[in-house]
């Protein structure tokens, strides 16, 4: 059985995908790995992630906005500036919730051999997302 670590964020109003991603970028997160952006615009329920050059970020964000407005799940892979911790952000079709799936080198909780330091991630993300109308947080670390 694999471990699942994720944080769900709920917002008072619909969130705009480009505004959401730019808030993360403004807080020091990166969306580029080796010059490529990994993103999702789910058109068929198969969650086929794509990669494109960082130079196409504005086009990607525009496509994410269109997909989100059409009721599709959209997502982007992010990395924190400190170290190589990161994961995938998904904005759900109703656009009032997003999930962060911590899947890239999860930061371990001090003194634990099993659990992720969810507090570290929350300290990084909540200040960036509160201005977008953040109203609820639910965090899980389970196997």
- For residue 128, pLDDT over 80 is answered with yes
d(CA 17, CA 62): 8
Residue 26: the pLDDT is 97
- Percent of residues, the chain, with pLDDT higher than 90: 93
Which of 127, 26, 130 has its CA nearest to residue 78?
A: 26
Residue 115: the pLDDT is 95
Q: How many domains does the chain have?
A: 1
Q: Which domain holds residue 105?
A: 4-142
Task: Write out pLDDT tens, residues 5-55.
Answer: 999 999 999 999 999 999 999 999 999 989 999 999 999 999 999 999 999
pTM attached to this predicted model: 0.95
Residue 116: the pLDDT is 96
Residue 1: the pLDDT is 55
d(CA 143, CA 45): 24
Query: How high is the mean pLDDT of the chain?
Result: 96
């Amino acid at each position: 059985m694999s471990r699942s670590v994720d944080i769900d964020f709920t917002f008072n109003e619909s969130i705009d995908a480009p505004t959401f991603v730019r808030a993360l970028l403004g807080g020091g997160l990166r969306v580029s790995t080796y010059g490529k952006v990994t993103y999702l615009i789910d058109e068929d329920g198969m969650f086929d992630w794509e990669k494109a050059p960082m130079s196409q970020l504005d086009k990607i964000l525009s496509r994410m906005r269109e997909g989100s407005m059409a009721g599709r799940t959209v997502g982007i892979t992010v990395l924190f500036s400190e170290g190589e911790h990161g994961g995938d952000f998904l904005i759900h079709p109703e656009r009032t919730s997003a999930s962060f799936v911590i899947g890239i080198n999860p930061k371990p909780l001090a003194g634990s051999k099993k659990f992720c330091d969810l507090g570290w991630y929350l300290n990084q993300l909540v200040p960036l997302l509160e201005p977008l109308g953040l109203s609820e947080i639910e965090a899980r670390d389970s196997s």
